[in-house]
Structure 1
Amino acid sequence: MRVVDVADGDPLLETLYEDLLVPSFPPDELETLEWVRDGLAGGSVAVSAVLDDAGVPEAVAVGEWDAAGRVLLLSYLTVRPRARSGGLGGLLMGVVAGAWQERFRPLLTLAEVEHPLAHKADGERGDPAARLRFYARHGARALDIPYFQPALRPGAERVHGMLLLVLARASGTGGERPDTVDPGPVRSFLEDYLLSGEEHRADGPVLRMRDALARPGGVRLLPLDDVRALPLSVPDGAVRP
């Protein structure tokens, strides 16, 4: 097994997208192949993959860089079903914690993942509970924000029941209280993300997210061991599972 970085124009990208990303993520959660290509060309997207000895891709990670807020988002990380629990996800997390940090120098490194209470396990797409345990082993904690993924393009839907995890943070990004982060970079990232993905309407889910960012002392960081204690976004009128 070897880890490779995917460059702009690399023909491997289409294979990674069609063979690994498309089966692993629902359409509303997945950016288009053109989006990934444009981001690679412009330097705002990073793609790293694990290839077997024959050059067949077994795992991939896609990151998005928000230069304005200096926030790096691990948008996607997936391992082919036959290769799961074999350490390949850990190899890619090593890239996120190493080479990607050197390249971008982010204030915060985040990841968006499905909340186990809102999304069911699937043989192809994986188990949200197991995924959360994986990130917990790598030191991640959840931001205490009822997060939803915005609509990624016209015709797509918001994805509620998501968690925004902190994978790494630079010194000086702590809040006023222990186990908190400065809301500034998070707010900048979320405003850019929402504005780029959908009409920025001030409905209930948006207002609840803004309220969480305005709490005194910073945004709390929560351990991942008790899923019922983690924030959960729901559409207006819906009941928390």
Structure 2
Amino acid sequence: MALTEMGPEHPLLERVYDRLLAPAFPADELVSLDELRAGLAEGTSIAALAADGDRPLGVAVGEWSADSRVLLLAYLSVTAETRSQGIGGTLMSAVLGDWQRRLDPLVTLAEVEHPAAHAADPDRGDPAARVRFYARLGARALDLPYFQPALRPGAVRVPGMLLAVLAVEPALREAAAVPGAPVRAWLAEYFEETEGRMPEDAAGRALFDATDRPGGIPLLPLDDPAALPCARTV
């Protein structure tokens, strides 16, 4: 299946948002259509689309921080009727192939719902199955009590999230940890852009403190979700 890159004026952008992203992600986890379009125009977002003519089948949306060299796979969504048909894997081939060559990130992350904190849903999928999907791709989790910041005024933070490491630069491929400084810089940028400031509450301090460890942030296997950190209180 061929993939196409979506820019801010792509004719299917609104349909992708309405049919793939909005049904698959709670409002507090999803940027607005205008924010997505602006990111694509500014080059801070990147998107790959799988479609059958004018029918979107799946999409991957990344957010790129040039300063920290951290790439976040913010959204990966496939229509409910075409799940388990290889579309997600095809989209990931762009994330782990073309996007790596184009952007040369230090680390590529994905926000993933922790199965202990989020239930399966017919539209939004099964968090446990999603963790298994990323585990099959060789992903590991950062040992951080991560939660998603409130994306906009009026939105709330999303507890019980994992930061999965999908790829690292060649020098880190055999490492058991990733450097804390770029992850901390990326987190600071993320919170300042969304919540307007660095977090000063207990959950925020715990998250940032966990990035400052000798030897970096440990990488944990995804095969035992019960052993992974879970920030339930934010």
TM-score range, shorter chain: over 0.9
Whether 1:194 aligns to 2:197 is no
The gaps in structure 2 that reach 5 residues or longer are: none
TM-score when normalising by structure 2: 0.96
> Does the CA contact (< 8 Å) of 2:146 and 2:162 recur in 1?
yes
Alignment of 1:107-122 (within 5 A): 107-122=106-121
Identical counterparts, % of pairs: 53
> Does the CA contact (< 8 Å) of 1:20 and 1:78 recur in 2?
yes
> Does the CA contact (< 8 Å) of 2:150 and 2:157 recur in 1?
yes
Alignment of 1:20-99 (within 5 A): 20-52=20-52, 54-99=53-98
Q: Distance in 1 between matches of 2:85 and 2:59?
A: 14
Deviation of 1:11 (Å):
1.8
* Greater mean alpha carbon deviation, residues 59-68 or residues 205-214: 205-214
1:239 alignment counterpart:
none
Tell me, what secondary structure is at the counterpart of 1:48?
strand
One-letter code of the match for 1:136? A
Deviation of 1:173 (Å):
4.4
Alpha-carbon deviations, 1:100-158, whole Å to 9, x = none?
Answer: 11111111110001000000000000000000000001111000000000000000000
Tell me, what secondary structure is at the counterpart of 1:172?
helix
> Does the CA contact (< 8 Å) of 1:143 and 1:221 recur in 2?
yes
> Does the CA contact (< 8 Å) of 1:65 and 1:71 recur in 2?
yes
Alignment of 1:156-235 (within 5 A): 156-173=155-172, 178-198=175-195, 199-235=197-233
Deviation of 1:92 (Å):
0.4
Tell me, what secondary structure is at the counterpart of 1:63?
strand
The gaps in structure 1 that reach 5 residues or longer are: 237-241
Q: Distance in 2 between matches of 1:215 and 1:12?
A: 44
One-letter code of the match for 1:138? L
List, as ranges, runs of 4+ consecutive aligned residues in structure 1 with deviation greater than 2 Å. 171-175
Q: Distance in 2 between matches of 1:4 and 1:174?
A: 29
Query: Size of the alignment, in residue pairs?
Result: 233
* Greater mean alpha carbon deviation, residues 29-38 or residues 202-211: 202-211
One-letter code of the match for 1:183? G
Deviation of 1:228 (Å):
1.1
